[in-house]
Structure 1
Amino acid sequence: MSVLILALIAGAVVGLALGALGGGGSVLAVPALIYLLGFTPAAATTASLIIVTATSLTALYAHARTGDVRWKAGALFAAAGLLPAATAGAVASRLPQPVLTAAFAAVAALAAGAMLRPGRAITGPSADGPRPARSAGAGVGLGALTGLLGVGGGFLTVPALVTVLAFEMRAAVGTSLLVISANSLASLATRGATATGVDWAVIGPFAGAAILGARDGKRLATKVTGARLRRVFAVVLLAVAAFMLIDALT
Structure 2
Amino acid sequence: MDILEILGYFGALLIGVVLGLIGGGGSILTVPVLVYLMAINPVTATAYSLFVVGASSLVGAIRNIPKKLIDFRTAIVFAIPAFIAVYLTRKFLVPAIPEEIFSVSGFVITKNIGIMLFFAIIMVIAAISMIKEKDNGRNTEVKKVSYNYPLIIIEGLVVGLLTGIVGAGGGFLIIPALVLLAKLPMKKAVATSLLIIAVKSLIGFIGDVQNMEIDWVFLMIFTGLSIAGIWLGVYLNNFINGKKLKKGFGWFVLLMGIYIIWKELF
Q: TM-score, normalising length from structure 1?
A: 0.89
Check whether the contact 1:142–1:157 (CA below 8 A) recurs between aligned residues: yes
SS in structure 2 opposite 1:99?
helix
- Equivalence for 1:156: 173
How many Å apart are 1:47 and its aligned residue? 0.9
SS in structure 2 opposite 1:38?
coil
How many Å apart are 1:133 and its aligned residue? 2.2
How many Å apart are 1:137 and its aligned residue? 1.9
Of residues 42-51 and 213-222 in structure 1, the stretch that sits farther from structure 2 once superposed is 213-222
How many Å apart are 1:100 and its aligned residue? 0.2
How many Å apart are 1:12 and its aligned residue? 1.3
SS in structure 1 opposite 2:64?
helix
Question: Which ranges of structure 1 fall in alignment gaps of 5 or more residues?
Answer: none
- Equivalence for 2:146: 129
Of residues 128-137 and 92-101 in structure 1, the stretch that sits farther from structure 2 once superposed is 128-137
Q: Is 1:31 matched with 2:32? A: yes
From 109, 120, 125, give the equivalent of 1:105.
120
Distance in 2, matches of 1:98 and 1:115, equals: 26
Distance in 2, matches of 1:191 and 1:89, equals: 6
Check whether the contact 2:5–2:38 (CA below 8 A) recurs between aligned residues: no
- Equivalence for 1:84: 85
From 214, 218, 230, give the equivalent of 1:214.
230
Check whether the contact 2:20–2:232 (CA below 8 A) recurs between aligned residues: yes
Structure 1 residues 209 and 173: alpha-carbon distance in aligned structure 2, compared to 1, 3 A threshold: same
SS in structure 1 opposite 2:52?
helix
Distance in 2, matches of 1:125 and 1:67, equals: 13
Structure 1 residues 135 and 233: alpha-carbon distance in aligned structure 2, compared to 1, 3 A threshold: same
How many Å apart are 1:57 and its aligned residue? 1.1
| Corresponding letter in the other structure for 1:189 | I
Of residues 209-218 and 121-130 in structure 1, the stretch that sits farther from structure 2 once superposed is 121-130
Check whether the contact 1:16–1:214 (CA below 8 A) recurs between aligned residues: yes
Distance in 2, matches of 1:218 and 1:163, equals: 27
Check whether the contact 2:142–2:185 (CA below 8 A) recurs between aligned residues: no
Structure 1 residues 170 and 103: alpha-carbon distance in aligned structure 2, compared to 1, 3 A threshold: same
Structure number with larger C-alpha Rg:
2
| Corresponding letter in the other structure for 1:13 | L
**Identity over the aligned pairs, expressed in percent?**
28
Distance in 1, matches of 2:150 and 2:132, equals: 25
Q: What CA deviation, in whole Å up to 9, does each residue of 1:117-163 have, x standing for no partner? A: 23265569936333222222211111111111111111221232233
- Equivalence for 1:200: 216
- Equivalence for 1:50: 51
Residues matched between the structures, number? 249
Distance in 2, matches of 1:218 and 1:67, equals: 18
- Equivalence for 1:143: 160
- Equivalence for 2:200: 183
How many Å apart are 1:208 and its aligned residue? 0.7
Structure 1 residues 80 and 225: alpha-carbon distance in aligned structure 2, compared to 1, 3 A threshold: farther
Structure 1 residues 157 and 221: alpha-carbon distance in aligned structure 2, compared to 1, 3 A threshold: farther
Distance in 2, matches of 1:156 and 1:16, equals: 21
How many Å apart are 1:199 and its aligned residue? 3.3
- Equivalence for 2:263: 247
Structure 1 residues 103 and 158: alpha-carbon distance in aligned structure 2, compared to 1, 3 A threshold: same
Check whether the contact 2:79–2:156 (CA below 8 A) recurs between aligned residues: yes
